[in-house]
């Protein structure tokens, strides 16, 4: 069984059996159903009129089906030897009959008056050779002296099934290697058309077309992928829907309407409910320029935050040591740190362009006090940035005058951090939570006052495996005047537990769930997603991951799914799901709070793809995405695609 997917095309076709005047001295003949014969009078010639549409027939439907590929027909009476008629202008017994159906061929039959079974079969080659295209048997009674029209509905012989999208290309696409891709969780269902095809690839439509049974099997957990028929007169119209991203199989069975037309044909097609990826700002060319969309330039953007007060985004442009503002329209403006094209790193508080950063990484908007907070990793400091002019930058924790890095809880700048990379906020209390990466700890910062405390982890990294490296990415780096900031004591134990009993290995991404009050973080070198209670005793558990550490690229449940150096994580309050930037796999992964992992952008496989490619999730590509945030106004993830030097939008 072959399967064909092709553009939409309809047919206008019909089959009519018509009697003609008697021959050979007979008083006449007719083809009449359900009448009693008056006697054994013989029948003379019978005209069989097959209305065959041209191959370029316009779309539409007609009373019955005949394939435009039909080249010959056979007619048999009561199972006897068939009479074969070729159907071409040069064939004997054929003539032009008019513009709509230009060919009229006459078949001469011989039968006595009375009840008979007439079997009609059409073929795609002359002389009843090749493939049978449509066939049926009808019971009729021949009555001498009558000439009515008798409609015959031929049953199409299905050879394959066509499934094709009936929606705009930006919402649905058919990919030979992936399957039928459509946008997940949309308010309107995605329309498709399903047709049975004959052996020559022509759709079988109208009366006589096979009965279609369409269903969905094997839908991934939580995806809600379903198919339903469209109410109305078009039996070929169906719709697809989903509640979330995921995959399933579309199963189609085409059952002929007559036993003579063959056996049911089945077809299976992969369905993928997915997201759409686009580039909001930046391009593959790194640089330092303000502007709109691709006219703006970044150098290894790492962090991104959403400002719920004005709907804008704020990006950490690490390579340019600056803070950039990005509007929903993709307009990029530098608000703090050096302005384009100057690139200067350092350590200085001040307004706007007078401030200096060194390898900044994470950023979050605190709706309680209205400030942005930045993890200035190279300065081992936490900085506040006012998101309104003059964009004042202030050091609120860490970074003593000599930028000494270390591990010390205290108030404000008396505290010490070691290359903290991730930061999030409790939007109700304003408390900041920091992934103190090289200390392998999670720190809390009270706002206001900026008292720093450690809630989980210890300086020794918990690690019991190895991380696969990416050919296009490198580990986070930061500069400091203290060599001790690069010294990470050894450790080999991966452990859940309360407070300092738990261990991490390079935690980077961190997000807060306002529903349960817990933190979720990417334990990058352990290739795991961890959950932390923000109430004492600060219990740490593993949401996804195993010990010993297993890194890879696989979807599944908590103990079978794998990541490769995940670095960013965001909470979606609309669904309660988490999204992870799986950096060394250059993929965006969805994680439910029950631990089910699904890749939503870049196909999960053993082959990692890197690049800047927009499009449907399975076809899109990233290059070491780092951190991400959920934008509720755009209903999208905003991703800092670090090595693509771009800010990407993943529309959910």
pTM for the structure as a whole: 0.81
- Do residues 156 and 199 share a domain? no
Reply yes or no on whether the pLDDT at 226 is more than 70: yes
- 72 vs 385, residue with greater confidence: 385
The reported pLDDT for the residue numbered 145 is 66
Share of the chain above pLDDT 90, in %: 67
Is 461 strand, coil or helix?
Answer: coil
The secondary structure of 234-273 as a DSSP string is -TTEEEEE-SSSEEEEEEEEEE-SSGGG---EEEEEEEEE
Is 34 part of a structural domain of the chain? no
Q: Which two tokens stand for residue 346?
A: 């350092």
Whether the Cβ atoms of residue 339 and residue 356 lie closer than 8 Å to each other: no
- pLDDT value at 223 more than 60: yes
Residue 441 has pLDDT above 70, yes or no: yes
Between 25 and 572, name the one with better pLDDT.
Answer: 572
pLDDT digits (tens, 9 = 90+) for 581-630: 999 999 999 999 999 999 999 875 556 678 999 999 999 999 999 999 99
State mean pLDDT over 380-394: 97
Torsion of CA 163, 168, 169, 175, to 10 degrees: -20
Clarify whether residues 407 and 512 are in a common domain: yes
Interval 66-93 mean pLDDT: 87
Residue 523 pLDDT exceeds 50: yes
Mean pLDDT of the chain: 84
Q: Please indicate, yes or no, if residue 39 is contained in any of the structural domains.
A: no
Residue 32 is predicted with a pLDDT of: 29
Q: Is 572 helix (H, G, I), strand (E, B) or coil?
A: strand
Residue 409 lies in a domain: yes
Where does a domain end: 136, 165, 194? 165
- pLDDT band for position 102 (50/70/90)? low
Residue 40 lies in a domain: no
Quick check: 121 pLDDT over 70?
A: yes
Beta-carbon count within 10 A of 565 CB: 25
Do 131 and 190 lie in one domain? The reply is no
d(CA 568, CA 647): 14
| pLDDT above 70 as % of the chain | 81
The 10 Å Cβ neighbour count of residue 201 is: 15
Number of domains in the chain: 3
pLDDT at 240: 96
CA–CA separation, 237 and 170 (whole Å):
20
Question: Residue 565's domain spans which residues?
Answer: 278-459+491-651
Q: What is the mean pLDDT of residues 265-269?
A: 98
Distances in Å between the Cα of 420 and the Cα atoms of 249, 370, 462, 474 are: 44, 22, 17, 17
**171 falls within a domain:** no
Residue range 57-80: mean pLDDT, rounded: 73
195 touches 234 (CB < 8 A): no
Question: Which of 83-87, 245-249, 451-455, 514-518 has the weakest average pLDDT?
Answer: 83-87
Looking at residue 36, its pLDDT comes to 30
Q: What is the pLDDT of residues 8-28, one digit of tens each?
A: 222 222 223 332 222 222 222
Over residues 641-652, the mean pLDDT reads: 97
pLDDT at res. 8: 23
546 has pLDDT over 90: no
Q: What is the CATH number of the domain that holds 114?
A: 2.60.40
The angle at the Cα of 125, spanning 120 to 131, to the nearest 5 degrees, equals: 65
Confidence of residue 115 (pLDDT cuts 50, 70, 90): confident
Same domain, 126 and 184: no
Check whether residue 522 and residue 593 sit in a common domain: yes
Q: How confident is the model at residue 221 (pLDDT cuts 50, 70, 90)?
A: confident
Whole-number pLDDT of residue 604: 56
Can you give the CATH number for the domain in which 339 is found? 2.120.10.30
pLDDT band at 462 (very low <50, low <70, confident <90, very high): low
Residue 400 has a pLDDT of: 58
Give the least confident one: 70-74, 252-256, 415-419, 547-551: 547-551
Judgement on whether residues 265 and 302 belong to the same structural domain of the protein: no
Residues 214 and 88 in one domain: no
| Cβ(214)–Cβ(252) below 8 Å | yes
Beta strand 203-204 with 246-255 is unpaired
Q: Which residues contact 496 (CB under 8 A, 6 or more apart)?
A: 502, 530, 539, 540, 541, 542
pLDDT band with cut points at 50, 70 and 90 for residue 402: low
Q: How far is CA 98 from the centre of its chain?
A: 50
Residues 6+ apart with CB under 8 A from 475: none
Q: Are residues 266 and 283 in the same domain?
A: no
Same domain, 414 and 443: yes
The domain boundary residue, chosen from 273, 288, 314:
273
Residue 647, domain member (yes or no): yes
Q: What is the pLDDT of residue 28?
A: 23
Among 273, 302, 333, residue at a domain's last position: 273
Going by pLDDT thresholds of 50, 70 and 90, the confidence category of residue 113 is confident
Q: How much is the average pLDDT of 98-123?
A: 76
Measured between alpha carbons, how far is 226 from 211 in angstroms, rounded to an integer? 19
My answer on whether 223 and 148 are in the same domain is no
Residues 537 and 388 in one domain: yes
Mean pLDDT to the nearest integer, 233-243: 93
pLDDT at residue 30 in the model: 27
**Residue that wins the pLDDT comparison between 133 and 607:** 133
Residue 368 within a domain = yes
Q: What was the pLDDT predicted at 468?
A: 45
Kindly indicate the confidence band of residue 338, based on its pLDDT and cuts at 50, 70 and 90. very high
- Top pLDDT among 30 and 257 is at 257
166 contact partners, CB below 8 Å, separation of at least 6: 8, 191, 192, 193, 237
* 58 or 210: which leads in pLDDT: 210
Do 240 and 362 lie in one domain? The reply is: no
Give mean pLDDT, residues 365-371: 97
Does residue 502 form part of some domain?
A: yes
Beta bridge partners of 17: 48, 150
Query: What pLDDT is stored for residue 171 in this prediction?
Result: 93
- Round to whole Å and give the CA distance between 522 and 169: 35
């Amino acid at each position: 069984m072959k399967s064909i997917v092709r553009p939409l095309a309809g047919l206008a076709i019909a089959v009519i059996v018509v009697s003609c005047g008697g021959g050979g001295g007979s008083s006449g003949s007719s083809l009449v159903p359900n009448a009693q014969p008056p006697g054994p009078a013989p029948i003379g010639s019978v005209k069989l009129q097959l209305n065959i549409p041209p191959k370029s027939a316009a779309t539409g439907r007609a009373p019955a089906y005949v394939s435009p590929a039909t080249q010959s027909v056979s007619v048999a009476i009561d199972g006897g030897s068939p009479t074969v008629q070729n159907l071409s202008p040069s064939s004997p017994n054929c003539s032009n009959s008019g513009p709509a159906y230009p060919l009229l061929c006459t078949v001469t039959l011989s039968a006595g008056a009375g009840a008979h079974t007439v079997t009609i079969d059409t073929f795609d080659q002359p002389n009843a050779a090749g493939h049978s295209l449509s066939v049926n048997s009808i019971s009729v009674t021949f009555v001498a002296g009558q000439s009515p029209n008798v409609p015959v509905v031929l049953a199409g012989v299905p050879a394959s099934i066509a499934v094709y999208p009936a929606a705009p290309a930006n919402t649905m696409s058919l990919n030979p290697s992936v399957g039928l891709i459509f946008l997940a969780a949309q308010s309107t269902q995605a329309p498709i058309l399903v047709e049975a095809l004959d052996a020559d690839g022509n759709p079988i439509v109208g009366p006589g077309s096979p009965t279609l049974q369409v269903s969905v099997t094997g839908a991934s957990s939580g995806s809600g992928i379903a198919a339903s028929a469209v109410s109305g007169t078009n039996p070929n119209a169906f719709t697809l829907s989903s509640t979330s991203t995921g995959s399933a199989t579309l199963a189609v069975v085409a059952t002929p309407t007559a036993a003579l037309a063959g056996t049911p044909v089945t077809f299976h097609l992969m369905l993928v409910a997915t997201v759409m990826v686009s580039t909001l700002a930046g391009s593959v060319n790194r640089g330092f320029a303000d502007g709109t969309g691709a006219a703006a330039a970044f150098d290894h953007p790492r962090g991104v935050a959403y400002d719920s007060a004005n709907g804008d985004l704020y990006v950490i442009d690490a390579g340019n040591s600056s803070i950039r503002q990005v509007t929903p329209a993709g307009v990029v403006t530098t608000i703090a740190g050096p302005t384009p094209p100057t690139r200067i790193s350092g350590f200085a508080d001040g307004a706007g362009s007078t401030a200096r950063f060194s390898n900044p990484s994470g950023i979050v908007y605190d709706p309680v006090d209205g400030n942005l907070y930045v993890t200035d990793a190279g300065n081992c400091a936490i900085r506040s940035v006012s998101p309104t002019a003059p964009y004042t930058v202030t050091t609120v924790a860490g970074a003593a005058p000599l930028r000494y890095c270390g591990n010390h809880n205290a108030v404000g700048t008396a505290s010490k951090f070691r290359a903290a990379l991730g930061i999030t906020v409790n939007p109700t209390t304003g408390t900041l939570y920091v992934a103190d990466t090289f200390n392998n700890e999670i720190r809390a910062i009270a706002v206001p006052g900026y008292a720093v405390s450690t809630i989980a982890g210890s300086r020794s990294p918990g690690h019991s495996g190895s991380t696969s490296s990416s050919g296009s990415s490198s580990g986070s780096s930061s500069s400091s005047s203290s060599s001790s900031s690069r010294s990470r004591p050894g450790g080999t134990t991966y452990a859940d537990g309360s407070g300092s009993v738990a261990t991490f290995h390079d935690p980077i991404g961190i997000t807060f769930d306002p529903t349960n009050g817990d933190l979720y973080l990417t334990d990058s070198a352990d290739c795991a997603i961890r959950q932390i209670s923000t109430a004492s005793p600060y219990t740490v558990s593993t949401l996804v991951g195993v010990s010993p550490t297993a890194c890879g690229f696989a979807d599944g449940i908590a103990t079978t799914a794998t990541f490769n150096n995940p670095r960013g994580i965001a909470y979606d309050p609309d669904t309660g799901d988490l999204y992870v930037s799986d950096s060394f796999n250059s993929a965006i992964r969805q994680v439910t709070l029950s631990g089910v992992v699904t890749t939503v952008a870049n196909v999960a496989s053993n082959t990692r793809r890197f690049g800047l490619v927009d499009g449907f999730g399975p076809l899109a590509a990233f290059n070491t995405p780092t951190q991400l945030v959920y934008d509720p106004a755009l209903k999208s993830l905003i991703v800092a695609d670090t090595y693509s030097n771009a800010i990407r939008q993943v529309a959910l």
